[in-house]
Amino acid sequence: MEFEESGIGEECGVFGCVAAGEWPTQLEVAQVLTLGLVALQHRGQESAGVVTSNGASPPIYTSHKGMGLVSSAFPPEALLKLRYGNLGICHTRYSTTGMSELQNCQPFVVDTLHGRIAVAHNGELVNSRALRKKVMRHGVGLSTCSDSELITHLLALTPPMEELDSPDWVARIKNLMSETPTSYSLLIMFKDVIYAVRDPYGNRPLCLGRLVPISRLHSSGAEEEDTEGWVVSSESCSFQSIGAKYYREVLPGEVVQISRHGVKSLSFVPRPEGDLPAFCIFEYVYFARPDSIFEGQMVYTVRQRCGRQLAIEAPTDVDLVSTVPESATPAALGYAQQSGLPYMEVLCKNRYVGRTFIQPNTRLRQLGVAKKFGVLTDNFAGKRVVLIDDSIVRGNTISPIIKLLREAGATEVHIRVASPPIKFPCYMGINIPTKEELIANKPEFKDIAGHIGADSVKYLTVEGLLSAVQEGVTSFQEENNSKRVGHCTACLTGKYPVELEW
């Protein structure tokens, strides 16, 4: 299901790039940035922004922001404007607050006593209300409601700025991390470096990649000296499209400095004793692109394992397994493999429907989401179908699909959901409908199958999901909490990794 139907969505993607070696660089940094951003477009379609620096002393920063998709927000003249950048950060955004104005676009750039900094943020500060009050009490006026502006002011305020040569950004970043536990993956650009920061709980993803000559892209023995630049991204899926090799994750609590000389781990800010990491489990279930790698494993593979686990937990006696295209396909194939049932396509999607603003009239509105799908009748007429979906949020999209299949000849339609029911709001960067809108909190959930018109409905258990996810985790925080695995399941269980309004 796409965002507009599911009502659940990622809020942001961040991306950065630093050209290696001598500057001015041969690497066209602005193009790497925008193409990297295109690959993160699924994480936010409302606005996009890029800030580059030439890295000189004092640096010249150039920025471009625009509403809509990267493709429309970045016309050729925007790239021309940005072409002298030797490093830069960028951001794509979906707004939860309705303040979808250009001025809320990130990255946020401010002048401080020690120079200009730019900040791009993925996540949501759990204690932002208290922090806003704090900076305003200091006399600061806040011109936007974005956490990103708040973060820049927090960085500028403590320790108090003096007219010293060095602003000691690392101390400032560590101080910031001591004031807010989660959730943030941050890129902070100052002059000629980017600081990549991930909160101690590792709630939002962040990983590093290395740009190498395209010719050596796939040779395993590429040496360090080949490096043309370093990139940092919310998801590794962006590396493929710019010709970068996956390097490693930024670990929970880690502060990494990326410069023309390479990547350097500067510091680890620990979690409170006893707390586990809390990487958002919905990145695996739904948000991330299937070819991204988190914690050492490919998202596609995790989804396939969820499908296998679901087949074990909730088998069905049917003739074929199918998918609600496109995001549930890996789980459906996993279910088919585990169950031994044949996999068939039963729906095909009209990829142009979503983009039109033709308002269907009353008559056509009754068709609901069905008008986005064509039915492949021959594949299932007269047969019993189990349809795998990745999640059911409000329940209003699966229902017309079931009706469609039934009317086209399916004798039974069973629904298996490759994740547990969503019951709780997220305060850490995910846009989820209000508690009242979630089908799992409604009275009709007791007879969900009857409600949506299915022969049966079953969900993956929280334990099943966790085991499918954690089975393959291979990357760990090195310093103080090594080999400990944990994920945020707050939207499923109501157990938040930190107290809210910390």
Q: Please list the active-site residues.
A: 12
Asked if omega into 326 is within 30° of 0 (cis), the reply is yes
Q: How many residues in the chain?
A: 502
Instruction: Give the nearest distance from C-beta 30 to a copy of itself in angstroms.
Output: 9
298 forms part of the interface with a copy of itself (CB under 8 A): yes
Question: Is residue 371 near a copy of itself by the rule CB under 8 A?
Answer: yes
CA-to-CA separations, 151 to 132, 147, 171, 389, 409, in angstroms, rounded? 9, 6, 14, 38, 56
| Shortest Cβ 12–a copy of itself spacing (Å) | 16
**Pair 147, 212: CB distance under 8 Å:** no
- Per CB under 8 A, 407 contacts a copy of itself: yes
How many angstroms separate the CA atoms of 295 and 269, rounded? 19
Structure token digits, residue 167? 């602003």
- Mark the binding-site residues, compressed into ranges: 280, 327, 389-390, 426, 488, 491
In this chain, which of 88, 200, 209, 330 binds a copy of itself, going by CB under 8 A?
330
Annotate 313-380 with DSSP letters as a single string. Answer: HS----SEEEESTTTTHHHHHHHHHHH-PPB---EEE-TTGGG--PPP-HHHHTTGGGGGEEE-GGGT
Distance in angstroms between the alpha carbons of the first and the last residue of the chain: 34
> How near is the Cβ of 148 to a copy of itself at its closest, in Å?
10
Contact region with a copy of itself (CB under 8 A), list: 247-255, 356-364, 427-435, 451-459: 356-364
Q: Are 352 and 377 contacting, i.e. CB atoms less than 8 angstroms apart? A: no
DSSP 121: E
If 0-12 CB within 10 Å is exposed, 13-18 middle and 19+ buried, where does residue 485 land? Answer: middle
- Interface map 69-88 toward a copy of itself (x if CB under 8 A): xxx--xxx--x---------
Secondary structure in 3-state letters for 459-472: ECCHHHHHHHHHCC
Among 109, 280, 413, 468, binds a copy of itself (CB under 8 A): 109
Question: How big is the site for a copy of itself, counted in residues (CB under 8 A)?
Answer: 109
- Listed in sequence order, the residues at least 6 apart from 62 whose beta carbon sits closer than 8 Å to its beta carbon are 51, 52, 53, 81, 82, 84, 85
Annotated binding site for Mg(2+): 327, 389-390
Stretch that binds a copy of itself, among 105-113, 190-198, 416-424, 437-445 (CB under 8 A): 105-113
**Binding range to a copy of itself, per CB under 8 A, among 123-131, 269-277, 338-346, 450-458:** 338-346
- According to CB under 8 A, which residues from 424 to 463 bind a copy of itself? none
Taking only Cα atoms into account, the Rg of the chain, rounded to an integer number of angstroms, comes to: 23
- 363 scored as a contact of a copy of itself (CB under 8 A): yes
3-state secondary structure of 58: coil
**Using CB under 8 A as the criterion, what x/- string covers residues 153-192 for binding a copy of itself?**
x-xxxx-xxxx-----------------------------
Question: Using the rule CB under 8 A, is 355 a contact of a copy of itself?
Answer: yes
Structure-token pair, residue 268: 């680890």
Q: How far is the CB of 374 from a copy of itself (least distance, A)?
A: 3
Q: Among 98, 139, 274, 443, which residue interacts with a copy of itself (rule: CB under 8 A)?
A: 139
Nearer to a copy of itself, 197 or 237 (CB): 237
Min separation Cβ 365 and a copy of itself, Å = 9
Q: Which member of 204, 289, 414, 416 binds a copy of itself (CB under 8 A)?
A: 289
Nearer to a copy of itself, 350 or 467 (CB): 350
For residues 278, 283, 289, 291, the Cα torsion angle rounded to the nearest 10 degrees is 40
Q: Do 53 and 87 touch, CB atoms closer than 8 A?
A: yes
Q: Footprint of a copy of itself on residues 191-250 (CB under 8 A)? A: 213-215, 217-218, 228, 237, 240-243
In the complex, what is the shortest distance from the CB of residue 125 to a copy of itself, in angstroms, rounded to a whole number?
A: 16
351 binds a copy of itself (CB under 8 A): yes
Q: Which residues are annotated as a binding site for [4Fe-4S] cluster?
A: 280, 426, 488, 491
Determine, following the binding rule CB under 8 A, whether residue 136 of this chain makes contact with a copy of itself.
Answer: yes
- Asked if 122 contacts 71 with a C-beta cutoff of 8 angstroms, the reply is no
Smallest separation, CB 167 to a copy of itself (Å): 11
Rounded-to-integer distance, Cα 337 and Cα 309, Å: 11
152 binds a copy of itself per the rule CB under 8 A: yes
Q: How far is the CB of 58 from a copy of itself (least distance, A)?
A: 14
Among 403, 423, 442, 451, binds a copy of itself (CB under 8 A): 403
Tell me if the bond preceding 107 is cis, omega within 30° of 0: yes
| Unique residue bearing structure tokens 């410069």 | 259
> Which range, of 261-269, 275-283, 347-355, 458-466, touches a copy of itself by CB under 8 A?
347-355
Query: Which residues 25-64 are close enough to bind a copy of itself by CB under 8 A?
Result: 27-28, 31-32, 34-35, 38-39, 41-42, 63
DSSP track, 431-463: E---GGG-GGGSGGGGGHHHHHT-SEEEE--HH
Among 166, 356, 434, 474, binds a copy of itself (CB under 8 A): 356
Only segment of 7-15, 121-129, 336-344, 475-483 that touches a copy of itself (CB under 8 A):
336-344
